[in-house]
Amino acid sequence: MNQRERLMAFLNNEPVDRVPIWLLFPYHRYGAYADVHSIPQYRPIIDLALDMAVWLNRRSFRIPLYEPQVKIWNEEEKTDSGFIQRQIVAYGDIRLTKEVCSGPAGKFIKKHLANEGDLDAFMNMPFLLDEKLIIKELEPKIALWRREAAEFPRHLGAMMNDLGEPIGVIYNMAELDELSVWSITAARKIETLLDKLMIRYRTVYRHLLEQDVGEVFFLVGSELASPPMVSRKTFQRWIVPYAKELINMVHSYGKKVIQHYHGQIKEILPDFLEMAPDALHTIESPPTGNCTLTEAFNILGDRIGIIGNIQYDEFRRLTPAQMDRTVRTCLEECRGRRFMLSPTAGPYEPVISERQRDNYMQFLRSGWQYGRVNP
């Protein structure tokens, strides 16, 4: 099997010759990660990964959140102890401000939505919901995607779209302690806002699917409103129905879905069965998370493939010999199950140590050595 065949067999719950290995490295530059292809320290890792790893070329399609009449600008103010950076979002009498205060005591951030009054104002913003305008914004991004897809070696894996979910907009705008409180005091307001935002997500997903843009869709949102920050009941209202609808839409076009989740997942794992992605990344064992791979398989069976779960910090901390043992232990725990080996996070550091470089390479070699289905 080549890397693509191995990936698609995993996502289809079909037999594989060996456990797929995913580094999370994109084939083209991706803004959330270090530009690994232009950094010499990553070069030997990439050379090895081209032979051993599945590549999911993660791409985004960022479009404006608001209609053009909403104005956004940045300001900076010097103070006696540092400076304040502001981003102002304004529409009519509405003015929402994010502040980043930097000084000797550190950095302090106040988000745009710092109280329920801000939330009420945000709900009255004119979001970009018009289908024709959204499609117009998408067209140049689709053209770029097609160029990148033509450059991507098909045998390595698949193009993967990261389009977001409605909760992501609110999460990025709001103070998180306020969001927790609003799950009790303003839940219906949040749900009204999610319903409104879902209009644009339906349009984006549907248009890309109709244009055959993307083979795998990466949903990042479930971790943004989940226990212990909010209750499982809130998770079931703010996350499950929206993700389920998007996943069903993707599946209706014959495409695949990987959901992403960091943190305390055990309580809500049954809810992923309802959302029904093809795979889930990443299950985190204690102390980082609260669920072992064995516990996850006991809940999910083979209905959802599991991707994980070597902690990113282990690549910094372990010796290569320890990394070898860690990978081997992980693969033994998952032997015979629907599993893909990966780190828990992507390569976001532009400078890595020699140890981290060596551990990436050991991770690949050990995954390849111990990952044969019939060793």
pTM: 0.96
**Alpha carbon distance 199, 358 (integer Å):** 46
| Residue 219: how many other CB atoms lie within 10 Å | 25
Sorted by where each begins, the domain ranges of the chain are: 3-65+127-370, 71-114
**Alpha carbon distance 49, 34 (integer Å):** 16
Q: Does domain 3-65+127-370 bear CATH number 3.20.20.210?
A: yes
**What Rg, from alpha-carbon coordinates, does the chain have?**
22
**Alpha carbon distance 263, 153 (integer Å):** 33
Among residues 212, 216, 165, 211, which one has the least CA distance to residue 59?
A: 216
pLDDT tens for the 375 residues of the chain, in order: 999 999 999 999 999 999 999 999 999 999 889 999 999 999 999 999 999 999 999 999 999 999 999 999 999 999 888 999 999 999 999 999 999 999 998 999 999 999 999 999 999 999 999 999 999 999 999 999 999 999 999 999 999 999 999 999 999 999 999 999 999 999 999 999 999 999 999 999 999 999 999 999 999 999 999 999 999 999 999 999 999 999 999 999 999 999 999 999 999 999 999 999 999 999 999 888 999 999 999 999 999 999 999 999 999 999 999 999 999 999 999 999 999 999 999 999 999 999 999 999 999 999 999 999 986
User: The dihedral of CA 264, 268, 269, 271: what is its sign?
Assistant: negative
